[in-house]
Amino acid sequence: MPSPQWYDPHYDEESSRRRLIASQKYSRVLIACRREAPGRDAAKELGCDFVHLDVSDGRSVSSLPERLKTLGVSKLSLLVNNAGVMFDGWSRENWENHWTTNVVGQVELVNNLKSHLDTRASIVNVSSGWGCKSELSNPAIADKVWACGSIDELLDFGATKVFAQCEHSGYMEYYKISKCFMNRWTKLLHEKDAELNALGASVFAVCPGWCHTSMGDRAGGISSRSADAGAESVMAATLGQVPAGSFTRDGKQIGGKDIW
């Protein structure tokens, strides 16, 4: 029997959850959400377990393994990182909000759950095509992000250097840059993480596209692309239909060859 699947939604896209349950590949699906009431409602509707999680809160992340034990969960076969925030406007506080939730929180979550991943587990990071070099107002930042040769170097660059280099550089630029970091982190996990490699784990980045969700609608009007269509990209990765270490949308590689 496969280990439970773990889904971490910080914005409201239930389609992936529904598709994972319908696939019957996973015996148990858990939902994590920082908004407890809607999270519990969604879990009840879908027949899943719920656990509270705020990836921007280090204590919430570090206490997660023990809280999972109370649910009888010791191993996970799939982790879908879907936490995310998106704001426009320029301030250090705004950058810190993006950095903490969209990057650092994801990194710490994976670090805390590594020892609880099953053999040949999968990690799917829900990113965005907006994180591609071609989408940044200052593409030189993408070059510097992708020049980072380790996760520690990547985190140091984001925490201490990038803010001064990206100020006032474009629409939703902080969001785009945070997703650029996520893409590079995904590639580093795939190529250089010894613990994950020893497990035979697979790591993916996916872009669901601009979808009609609460976050997507804030990006500039109402999209005609449904959340179900966006969920196809997540499902392609979870079902192993795209190569590990790839960045895909609708099952097709996006971004450049060497720098996404």
Per CATH, the homologous superfamily of domain 9-253 is NAD(P)-binding Rossmann-like Domain (3.40.50.720)
Q: How confident is the model at residue 12 (pLDDT cuts 50, 70, 90)?
A: very low
Assess whether pLDDT exceeds 70 at residue 212.
no
What is the CB-side half-sphere exposure of residue 111 using CA atoms within 13 A?
14
- What does 89-112 look like in DSSP terms, one character per residue? S--HHHHHHHIIIIIIHHHHHHHH
Which pair of tokens denotes residue 74? Answer: 């010791």
In the predicted structure, residue 13 carries a pLDDT above the cut 80:
no
Share of the chain above pLDDT 90, in %: 58
User: Is 53's pLDDT higher than 90?
Assistant: yes
Reported as a single tens digit per residue, the pLDDT across 228-244 is 777 889 999 988 899 99
The overall average pLDDT reported for the chain is 86
- The more confident residue out of 217 and 233 is 233
Residue 9 has pLDDT above 50, yes or no: no
> Looking at residue 232, what is its pLDDT?
86
Segments making up each domain of the chain, as ranges = 9-253
Of 1 and 192, the structure prediction assigns the larger pLDDT to 192
Nearest to 114 by CA among 30, 203, 177: 203
Among 41, 43, 38, 35, residue whose Cα is nearest residue 17? 43
The residue-averaged pLDDT of 200-229 equals: 72
d(CA 161, CA 188): 20
Whether residue 219 is predicted with pLDDT greater than 60 in this model: the reply is no
Indicate whether 49 pLDDT > 60: yes
**Which residue would you say has higher pLDDT here, 150 or 83?**
150
Question: In the chain, what are the helix, strand and coil shares in percent, each to the nearest 5?
Answer: 50, 15, 35
pLDDT at 180: 96
- How confident is the model over 67-74, as a mean pLDDT? 93
For tokens 């976050």, what's the residue? 215
pLDDT at 218: 56
**Tally: H helices and E strands in the chain:** 13, 8
Number of other residues whose CB lies within 10 A of the CB of residue 2: 15
Listed in sequence order, the residues at least 6 apart from 220 whose beta carbon sits closer than 8 Å to its beta carbon are none
pLDDT in tens, 56-68: 999 999 999 999 9
Question: Of 126, 246, 128, 247, nearest to 176 (Cα)?
Answer: 128
Spatial separation of the C-alpha atoms in residues 231 and 212, rounded to whole Å: 12
159 vs 21, which has greater pLDDT?
A: 159
Most distant CA atoms of the chain, gap in Å: 51
State pLDDT tens for residues 135-187: 998 899 999 999 999 999 999 999 998 888 776 567 789 999 999 999 999 99
Backbone φ and ψ for 257, nearest 5 degrees, come out as -70, -45
- Residue 6 pLDDT level (bands cut at 50, 70, 90): very low
User: Which residue did the predictor score with more confidence, 22 or 130?
Assistant: 130
54 sits in which H/E element: none
Q: Which residue intervals of the chain are DSSP H helices?
A: 15-23, 36-46, 58-62, 64-69, 92-98, 105-113, 139-147, 151-160, 162-166, 173-192, 194-199, 214-218, 227-238
Q: Within its chain, how far is the Cα of 96 from the centroid? A: 17
Whether the per-residue pLDDT at 76 is higher than 70: the answer is yes
